[in-house]
Structure formats: structure tokens, C-alpha cells
């Protein structure tokens, strides 16, 4: 056994331990790490010893609660082990003032938040500092604030809990707007903590001033339009009420934003355990129950994103079974029904522009159509307007749909669906509903394509064969996203996420990281090369934290959906949207040592590559060669005369 010294030298200004002499026993198995570790300071320091102890604790899967001194690059998820001051045989927490940021992370940890996603900066660094000194909450560093926002969004959509994003002032906070807009449009609970310059400099030319004073950009006005709640905290004591208010607002569905000037973040506040209990309105489903009792014929349910947000999958399936109904889902709620154990034999598939034609026939044949937790946007209802207009439509959820219907409001879909099912049992059962005629699973009929590259449909068949149960799938926008929504079944026990509120390209890279943190299981991201070029560097974030994420990059060397539009709607005279050649798999393998990354040019190579990628302990990448000229399963592209276009030098790119 090596020995650790008793005397400790402190930096009194920063309140951290600098160095110590050895006398306390250290396991011999890690002594070589102590004597070889590089110190952050000139003397042999506690840093080297804590690196060794923390690595030892991580390998033995013991959680260390240590305070006051910061080792680097150690611990589960790359830095989640905290530090301490060492004095003889004991580790003592160093006394610290209780600041606004300390209150924030304490409150978040108390309600079960495990991670805060963000990008550090001068006006948010105090929050990172506060998170560092907690063993029950970890601040994650993303590569870009948009991706940090989508990490929080994906974490929340996965059912792991409230997603939290933080960003510094100026361009950093502006980068979150697109991600928060997606969360708003899709009603995803997210809390955004946005740093600002000190209030003493409001309107006085501060760097990155967003106070709205004296001609400065008005951050409160900006974030108010992409949130369900926005408040600028200028009195430190107000955080005690503002934080629970923001969380309560977010949990109704959508982002809540707190604007936090730096001096407020650093201000001391008294400990206060007061908070607000979140009260959720459980809507009375009596009008829906009455209508279902009167229904004489089949019932079709269209389930939406609130089923996922409220985790009401089991209650939905129990209601479906009681009604002997068929169920379809909107595209961004594909995993809430129709999987093994959730009424797969009664599943109609997906509605809307990327959906299955049989849904419209089922709705038209229904005595009643029940919308559950969905607004039925254009993307979700394309092809259904005539059928919905011809039948009785009822809705239950937190927001009224865009289609004419009788709507029952509820913040708690689990509670309301349970009440509805109980109202339909015994003497109150819906006795006139009947089991509908069996409908075969239908797919959109696409034009034949015989060009180079792997076919979308064939690739999805391979994925269906190779992806095991429990795998979560996150899909990006574009041709490959449409193909995955249309063709790829949800894994049993897995989640299937797609962001169609704003449909921002590159969403899946951050969201996949957030899902992996939240669900702690294999996550598969399906995206095109165009999305990769926007936000694909979050692959490095997955590598940094050794997350089990497999990124499938379908490389058609284009913004392929835009190429399709050029071909169909602009006579295929030119293309602004084709890229030059790339080898993403080989390139990423070179960029990031230790990353499993490979290229697949032929469909016969994909099964083995996929098995190898899924077997990696950490992230992996497969780049799959495909073609921008293949028409995806997208209804709006199928009503025009379609011709197949070979790539020629004349239509590869428009040049200035």
C-alpha cells in the first residue's frame, strides 16, 4: 500500500485544496496512477491522488461524493465524480456560500433532474460551477447550443423526466431558439436557463446585452414567443418562486425560460425549502363516454404526442381493448401504440404525409373517431380531411385539434383515459361497437428506381431484422426520415422519436444523446448527410461521454428532399442542393480516434456492419451510400408525374 500525507495546503481565495503529503493508505492497485499522474500545480497535488481514487471508484462502480477540488476527465460520463479536501483519513466538504445557482441545481436535483445540457460561457459558468459540487446532478457539455436544446428535448420526450438546457448570453442563447421552437410546437416540457450580462450594465453597452434597454436586444421579448413561460429574474430572492413556476409551466407542455443575469446567479440567498406543488387538471371524459356508448360500429383511435408526454401508453391500450378499436398514430407518436404488447394486431400504422393509406379507409368506415392527445397538424392529417369530415370526431387532450370536433381538455391524459375506461365498463360499456373488418397493412406505392446506392426500403428491412427489442430510435428530417417513419417498426419496449413541430435538420444528433443519457440503453440515430453537416459534431459528445449511440448516416450527397422538389416542381433544370463526394465513415474514424466508424456501399454489407456497430461499448457510426434521386414515401411527391433522374455533371450543382 502507498501512503498519503496528512497536511493539506489550501487556496483560501478559491476555497480549494492544492496539495497534500502522503500518509493515508491508498490501494496498491492504483498507486501507479498516483505517482504517475500529472499535477495541475507545481507540487504533487491532491489532483493526482483524486484522479486515482476517482478512477478506482468508477471501475469498482462506487459513487464518490467528493468536494472542493476538480480532477479532470474522470468518472462516469466523463467527469461526474466530484472532489474533496483531504485531511488525514477523512474527506471534508469545503464551506461555500449558498448562491442562486446553488439553489437552482439543488431544486432540480430534488425533483429528479439528473442532467443539465448546455455550452459553457462567461454568463452561465456559475451554473456549471454549482452543478460540479453536486453528486446527484451532472452538467453536460454539448458542441452547439441548438444541440443542447435538442438534448433536453430528446431527454424529455424519452420519458426520462424534465429536460433542462442552459446557455450563456449573446449568440449562445440565440442558438437555442430553434430548439426551443421545436419544443414549443411539439409541446415538449423543457426548462431553459439563460445567462445574461450583469444588471448593472443593462443598456450601457455590455457585451452581449439582452436586457432590452437603450436599444439592446430584448431577450425577454424574444424568448417569450418560443416558450409557454418566460421571466427575467432581477431580484435574487425571486428565484424561490420563479423556478417552481417555470417548471410547472413547462410540465403543461412546452419550454419555460428563466433569464438569469450574472450578478443574480452569484448572489447569496437564504435556504428556503418552500415550493409549489404542480396541480394538473384531469378532464372529465363524460362527453366522450356518452358518444362512445352511442356509437354503432367500429371505433378508430388516432393517438398523438401527449400520450408519450404523459406516459399514457398502458391506459391507451386498455381503452383500445375495451372498445375493440383500431389505432393509428401521428408521425411523432409512433411508439405509443401498435407495438407488441400495445395492440399490434389492431395497429393501422401512421397518419399523414408519410403515413399509410389504410388509415383513411379505416376512419371513413368508423362510427366514431377519437383523437387522443394530438392537434392533428397538416403533417399528421394529410389525406384524412375528407374522412374526418364524414364521421363523428371527439378529442381528449391538453390542446384542441385543428379539425372540427368535440374536445375535452385534460392536462393528465393518464388519469382521463383511466376514467374513460372505467366509465365504459359494467353497465356503462359501449355495447354497440363492433370489431372492424381486418385491414391489411398498406404502404405508399413509389415509382421504381434503378440507380446506384442502397434503397431506403431495403435498408429499413435490414434494420427491422437486426435491431433488437428495447432499442430507441431517433429520426431526423428529410427523405431518410420519411422512409424510417413509413417503413421501420418500433422496437418492443423502445421509443421512436421524430421532431415534426418545426422539423429542423440536425435535431436527431442532440436528441439521440439526450435519449441515451435519459434511457441508458442503445439508441439508434437515423439521419442524412445534410443533417450531419449541420449538427453531426455531437457524435464527438457521444464519444466524450461513451454513450451507446449508433449513428446511421444515409449519405446521398445532397439535401435530397430539396433535390426531389427541384425534379418534380422545377423541371429538373438545375440543382442547388447536391454536394460533392464524401466518405463520412472513414473521415469520422480519422477525426475521432477510438470511434467505430465505417462506410457501407452495398446492402449486403449492412447486416454485418450493423451487428458490429451495435456491439460496440460506446458510440458507433455507419455511413450508408444511397441516392438523392430515389423518391421517398412522401404523399406530396406522389401526385405528380415522376421520372427517375441519373446524376449528370449538368445537374450536380448550381455554381455562382
Q: What's the pLDDT score for residue 440?
A: 64
Do 478 and 528 touch, CB atoms closer than 8 A? Answer: yes
pLDDT in tens, 133-170: 999 999 999 999 999 999 999 999 999 999 999 999 99
Report, as an integer, the average pLDDT of 481-501: 94
Mean pLDDT of the chain: 84
Task: Summarize the confidence of residues 97-121 as an average pLDDT.
Answer: 96
Range from 59-73, 285-299, 372-386, 491-505 carrying the lowest mean pLDDT? 59-73
Q: Are 363 and 387 in contact (CB under 8 A)?
A: yes
Give the separation between CA 524 and CA 533, rounded to whole angstroms.
Answer: 18
Distance separating alpha carbons of residues 377 and 375, to the nearest angstrom: 6
**Per-residue confidence (pLDDT) for residue 272, from 0 to 100:** 52
Give me the domains of the chain, ranges plus CATH numbers. Answer: 2-92 (no CATH), 100-266 (3.40.50.970), 286-428 (3.40.50.1220), 456-651 (3.40.50.970)
- pLDDT on residue 442: 82
Ramachandran angles phi, psi of 19, nearest 5°:
-155, 165
Cα dist from 521 to 463, 515, 566, whole Å? 17, 9, 40
Q: For 509-538, how does the pLDDT look when each residue is reduced to its tens digit (9 = 90+)?
A: 999 999 999 999 999 999 999 999 999 999
Across 86-93, average pLDDT: 48
| Torsion, CA 105, CA 106, CA 111, CA 116, rounded to 10 | 20
**pLDDT-derived band at 645, boundaries 50, 70, 90:** very low
CA dihedral 452, 457, 461, 462 (to 10 degrees): 30
- Nearest CA to 255 out of 182, 347, 196 is that of 182
Tens of pLDDT, residues 171-206: 999 999 999 999 999 999 999 999 999 999 999 999
3-class secondary structure, 554: strand
Specify the range with the lowest mean pLDDT, choosing from 5-14, 340-349, 404-413. Answer: 5-14
CB contact at 8 A, 632 and 559? no
Count Cβ atoms within 10 A of the Cβ of residue 383 and give its class: 0-12 exposed, 13-18 middle, 19 or more buried.
middle
* Residue 5: pLDDT over 90: no
Residue in the structure block whose three cell numbers are 491508498: 26
- Residue 327's DSSP bridge partners are 301, 347
Considering only residues 233 and 11, tell me which one the structure prediction assigns the higher pLDDT. 233
Per the listing, cell 497535488 goes with 45
pTM of this structure = 0.82
Least confident of 121-125, 225-229, 341-345: 341-345
Note the pLDDT tens digit of each residue in 116-126. 999 999 999 99
CA-nearest of 581, 592, 501, 604 to 551 is 592
Nearest to 325 by CA among 355, 308, 345, 339: 345
CA pair distance 548, 512, nearest whole angstrom: 10
Q: Is the dihedral of CA 474, 480, 482, 487 positive or negative?
A: negative
Rounded CA separation 420/193 (Å): 38
Report the chain's terminal Cα–Cα distance, integer Å.
70
- pLDDT band at 10; cut points 50, 70, 90: very low
The confidence score (pLDDT) of residue 49 equals: 33
The per-residue pLDDT for 93 is: 54
pLDDT at 404: 96
Q: How confident is the model at residue 73 (pLDDT cuts 50, 70, 90)?
A: very low
* pLDDT at residue 246 in the model: 98
- Report how far residue 529's alpha carbon sits from residue 554's, in angstroms, rounded to the nearest whole number: 6
For the cut 90, the answer to whether the pLDDT of residue 266 exceeds it is yes
d(CA 24, CA 50): 13
pLDDT band at 1 (very low <50, low <70, confident <90, very high): very low
Tell me how far CA of residue 269 lies from CA of 126, 137, 275, in angstroms: 15, 20, 15
Amino acid at each position: 500500500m502507498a501512503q498519503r500525507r496528512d497536511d493539506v495546503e489550501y487556496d483560501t481565495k478559491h476555497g480549494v485544496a492544492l496539495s497534500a503529503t502522503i500518509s493515508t493508505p491508498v490501494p496498491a492497485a492504483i498507486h501507479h496512477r498516483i505517482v504517475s499522474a500529472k499535477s495541475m500545480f507545481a507540487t504533487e497535488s491532491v489532483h493526482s491522488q483524486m484522479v486515482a481514487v476517482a478512477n478506482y471508484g468508477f471501475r469498482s462502480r462506487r459513487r464518490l461524493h467528493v468536494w472542493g477540488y476538480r480532477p479532470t476527465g474522470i468518472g462516469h460520463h466523463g467527469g461526474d465524480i466530484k472532489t474533496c479536501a483531504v485531511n488525514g483519513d477523512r474527506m471534508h466538504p469545503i464551506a461555500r456560500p449558498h448562491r442562486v445557482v446553488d439553489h437552482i441545481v439543488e431544486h432540480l436535483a430534488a425533483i429528479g433532474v439528473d442532467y443539465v445540457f448546455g455550452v459553457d460561457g462567461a454568463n452561465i459558468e456559475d451554473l456549471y460551477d454549482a452543478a460540479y459540487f453536486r453528486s446527484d446532478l451532472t452538467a453536460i457539455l454539448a458542441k452547439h447550443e441548438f444541440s443542447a436544446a435538442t438534448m433536453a428535448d430528446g431527454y424529455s420526450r424519452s420519458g426520462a423526466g424534465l429536460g433542462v438546457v442552459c446557455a450563456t448570453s449573446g449568440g449562445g442563447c440565440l442558438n437555442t431558439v430553434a430548439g426551443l421552437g421545436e419544443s414549443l410546437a411539439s409541446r415538449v416540457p423543457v426548462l431553459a436557463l439563460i445567462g445574461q450580462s450583469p444588471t448593472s450594465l443593462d443598456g450601457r453597452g455590455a457585451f452581449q446585452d439582452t436586457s432590452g434597454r437603450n436599444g439592446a436586444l430584448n431577450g425577454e421579448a424574444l424568448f417569450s414567443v418560443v416558450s409557454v413561460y418566460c421571466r427575467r429574474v432581477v431580484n435574487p430572492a425571486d428565484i424561490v418562486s420563479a423556478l417552481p413556476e417555470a417548471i410547472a409551466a413547462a410540465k403543461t407542455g412546452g419550454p419555460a425560460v428563466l433569464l438569469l443575469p450574472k450578478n443574480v446567479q452569484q448572489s447569496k440567498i437564504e435556504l428556503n425549502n418552500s415550493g409549489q406543488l404542480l396541480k394538473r387538471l384531469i378532464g372529465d371524459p363524460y362527453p366522450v363516454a356518452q358518444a362512445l356508448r352511442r356509437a354503432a360500429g367500429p371505433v378508430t383511435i388516432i393517438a398523438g404526442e401527449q400520450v408519450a408526454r404523459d406516459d399514457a401508453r398502458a391506459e391507451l391500450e386498455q381503452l383500445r381493448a375495451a372498445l375493440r378499436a383500431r389505432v393509428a398514430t401521428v408521425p411523432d407518436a409512433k411508439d405509443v401504440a401498435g407495438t407488441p404488447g400495445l395492440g399490434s394486431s389492431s395497429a393501422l400504422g401512421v397518419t399523414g404525409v408519410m403515413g399509410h393509406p389504410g388509415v383513411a379507409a379505416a376512419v371513413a368506415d368508423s362510427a366514431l373517431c377519437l383523437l387522443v392527445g394530438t392537434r392533428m397538424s397538416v403533417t399528421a392529417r394529410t389525406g384524412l380531411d375528407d374522412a374526418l369530415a364524414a364521421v363523428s370526431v371527439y378529442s381528449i387532450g391538453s390542446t384542441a385539434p385543428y379539425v372540427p370536433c368535440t374536445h375535452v381538455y385534460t392536462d393528465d391524459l393518464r388519469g382521463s383515459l383511466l376514467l374513460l375506461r372505467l366509465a365504459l365498463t359494467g353497465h356503462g360499456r359501449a355495447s354497440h361497437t363492433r370489431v372492424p373488418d381486418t385491414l391489411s397493412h398498406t404502404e405508399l406505392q413509389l415509382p421504381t428506381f434503378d440507380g446506384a446506392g442502397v434503397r431506403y426500403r431495403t435498408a429499413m428491412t435490414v434494420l427491422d431484422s437486426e435491431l433488437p427489442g428495447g432499442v430507441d430510435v431517433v429520426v431526423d428530417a428529410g427523405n431518410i426520415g420519411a422512409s424510417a417513419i413509413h417503413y421501420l417498426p418500433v422496437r418492443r419496449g423502445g421509443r421512436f422519436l421524430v421532431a415534426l413541430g418545426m422539423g429542423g435538420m440536425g435535431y436527431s444528433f442532440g436528441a439521440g444523446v439526450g435519449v441515451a443519457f435519459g434511457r441508458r440503453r442503445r439508441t439508434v440515430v437515423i439521419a442524412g448527410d445534410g443533417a450531419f453537416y449541420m449538427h453531426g459534431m455531437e457524435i464527438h459528445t457521444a464519444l466524450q461521454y461513451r454513450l451507446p449511440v449508433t449513428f446511421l448516416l444515409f449519405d446521398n450527397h445532397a439535401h435530397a428532399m430539396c433535390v426531389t422538389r427541384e425534379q418534380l416542381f422545377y423541371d429538373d433544370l438545375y440543382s442547388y442542393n447536391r454536394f460533392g463526394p464524401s466518405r463520412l465513415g472513414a473521415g469520422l474514424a480519422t477525426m475521432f480516434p477510438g470511434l467505430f466508424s465505417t462506410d457501407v456501399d452495398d446492402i449486403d454489407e449492412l447486416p454485418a456492419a450493423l451487428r458490429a456497430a451495435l456491439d460496440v461499448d460506446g458510440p458507433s457510426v455507419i455511413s450508408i451510400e444511397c441516392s438523392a434521386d430515389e423518391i421517398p414515401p412522401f404523399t406530396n411527391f406522389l401526385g405528380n408525374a415522376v421520372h427517375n433522374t441519373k446524376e449528370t455533371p449538368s445537374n450536380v450543382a448550381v455554381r455562382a
